[in-house]
Amino acid sequence: MTNLPFICRASSCGLRFLVGLVVILLTLGADGGRVASAQTIEDLFDDGTVQELRLSINERDLREVLERYLENIYVPADFQWRDQRVRNVGVRSRGLASRSASKPGLRIDFNRYSAGQTFLGLASLVLDNLVTDPALVRERVSMALFKRLRQPASRESFTRLYINSVYQGIYAIVEPVDGQFLQRAFGEKSGYLFERHFLHPFLGEDLGDELTAYRRVFEPRNHELEADTVLYSPIRDLFHEVNQPVDTVWRERVGRYIDLPQLVTHVAIETFLSEADGVLGGAGMANFYLYRGPSSDQHRLIVWDKDHTFAAVDSPIFLRVEENALFSRALAFGDLRALYLDVLEQCARSAAGDGWLEAEIVRLSALIDVAAREDVRKPYDDESRETAVEFLKHFARQRPTFVLQEIARARGGR
């Protein structure tokens, strides 16, 4: 009996020990779960983090990619983000004006050599080398504004890129516009996706009955094996109808082939951002995807590549509108013109409200500051970057006011 209290105490201690052990294990388990769940696609595109991506490429292949950077030559690589490693991915040089031998833009296809292989559900990733933007943040800030205006846009984050353990510089990880993007943005991916393929300027003119003429303008990104009549007849019909006389029939017929309010919204955002290389770009229509849903002839635009925004604070809101056959005719309709001005106003107020646009520029510039300074492959020096960032901040402060004045003038002039 005398030992009973001792036994009870021992039992109590043992119970406490077991409870403590369970708590520790649960804590560790929860922590383990947190680590595991941290590596999600949301974390990859966490806009408050500079990621670190590592590629392992055979030196011979790397030489070939750099020497033949103007070609789309795929080479195999091993890809690593945090503790996630994807083996045998396909890597190639990418871009148009941004192609570079010293700091190549890259496309990574996880399923190039291993059918069905994905990374966090992604079949591919784009690594934007940011070489056409001295400030390095134009693309990110522009995409953010598209998202604020509820337009689907690629998710992005910054990353340090290492190839064979050598720092290549600061890059933007860009979610490609592909099946996964379509599924996320529209809830389905079975429609027809085309990328504006820039070989020659295109201003929305009628290219005639030959479908191959449109194949040169819009490159299919899915359904590639289907006949041109299936792929391109609706696009040919779109630009045929666009170039007919503007009347109520025009609106109905063109509206059958393109979502006109969405087009106007897309262009208005680009215009606010003073996009030099967009739908109303200086070299014709550029940097967008066309998507046509399943069992529909109607297309919509998807934004792409915004490295040339922030061109000028005082860029007119109707700049180059008259040069574009589609957009100039669309704005002939009062409701679409009003929508255009409304979206521009939304952009201006969204950008200026709480100083969001400037704050975003400042935040992102600070986020990448160290990585950018250590990037010796960027074609601009640090002083140029600081000057460019200052200009962007100036743009963020002044552009809303200028655009609102232009809107008022446009509305007053109606």
Partner 1 sequence: MEFINVYQRRGPFRSAIVAASAGIAAIVLLVAMPAAAQEAPAEAAAPRDGRWSVRWDNHPEVEWSGGLRMEFRARLQGDSRASRAAVERGDGDRFDVGRRRVAVDGEIGPAIDFQIEGEIERTNPWRDVYVNYRPMRGAQIQAGQFKIPFGLEETTSGGNLDFIYRSIVSTRLAPGRDGGVMLHGRVARRTVGYEMGIFAHDGDNARPKGGTRVFGGRTLAGRVTVEPFRHSKSMMSDLEVGVAFTRSSLPQGFPAVRGKSVLGVSFFDSDVWVEGSRRRDGVQVRWRPGPFSVASEYIRVSDDRRGQSQAGTDLPPLLARGWYVSGTWVVAGATGAADVDQPARPLFQGGYGSIQVAMRLERLSFGSIADTNSPSTSPRADVVLGNRETAMTFGATWHLNRWIKMEGNVIREQIGGTAVSPVPHLRVWSRLIRFQLAI
Binding stretches for partner 1 (CB under 8 A): 56-61, 75-78, 87-88, 90, 112-115, 117, 164
Query: Based on CB atoms, which residue is closest to partner 1, 58 or 212?
Result: 58
Query: Based on CB atoms, which residue is closest to partner 1, 47 or 78?
Result: 78
CB 34 to partner 1: min, Å:
28
CB-neighbour burial class of residue 167 (10 A; exposed 0-12, middle 13-18, buried 19+): middle
CB 228 to partner 1: min, Å:
25
Query: Based on CB atoms, which residue is closest to partner 1, 77 or 280?
Result: 77
CB 375 to partner 1: min, Å:
23
CB 66 to partner 1: min, Å:
16
Query: Based on CB atoms, which residue is closest to partner 1, 4 or 115?
Result: 115
The two three-digit tokens of residue 339, written as one number: 């929508």
CB 305 to partner 1: min, Å:
28
**3-state SS class at 148:** helix
d(CA 265, CA 327): 11
* Residue 361: alpha-carbon gap to chain centroid: 17
**3-state SS class at 215:** helix
3-state secondary structure 349-404: HHHHHHHHHHHHHHHHHHHCHHHHHCCCCCCCCHHHHHHHHHHHHHHHHHHHHHHH
- What is the full DSSP assignment across 279-327? TT-TTSS-SEEEEE-TT---EEEEE---TT----TT--TTTTGGG-HHH
CB 116 to partner 1: min, Å:
8
Query: Based on CB atoms, which residue is closest to partner 1, 113 or 333?
Result: 113
Question: Would you say 304 and 154 are in contact if contact means Cβ atoms under 8 Å apart?
Answer: yes
Query: Based on CB atoms, which residue is closest to partner 1, 57 or 389?
Result: 57
Q: What one-character DSSP code corresponds to residue 119?
A: B
Query: Based on CB atoms, which residue is closest to partner 1, 79 or 146?
Result: 79
Maximum alpha-carbon separation in the chain = 107
Phi, psi values for residue 303, rounded to 5° = -70, 145
CB 119 to partner 1: min, Å:
14
Question: Would you say 177 and 193 are in contact if contact means Cβ atoms under 8 Å apart?
Answer: yes
Q: Which residue has the tokens 């103007």?
A: 70
The two three-digit tokens of residue 203, written as one number: 């201003």
Query: Based on CB atoms, which residue is closest to partner 1, 85 or 216?
Result: 85
CB 368 to partner 1: min, Å:
28
Query: Based on CB atoms, which residue is closest to partner 1, 61 or 206?
Result: 61
CB 74 to partner 1: min, Å:
9
CB 190 to partner 1: min, Å:
20
Query: Based on CB atoms, which residue is closest to partner 1, 61 or 386?
Result: 61
* Residue 64: alpha-carbon gap to chain centroid: 28
Phi, psi values for residue 91, rounded to 5° = -125, 140
**3-state SS class at 219:** strand
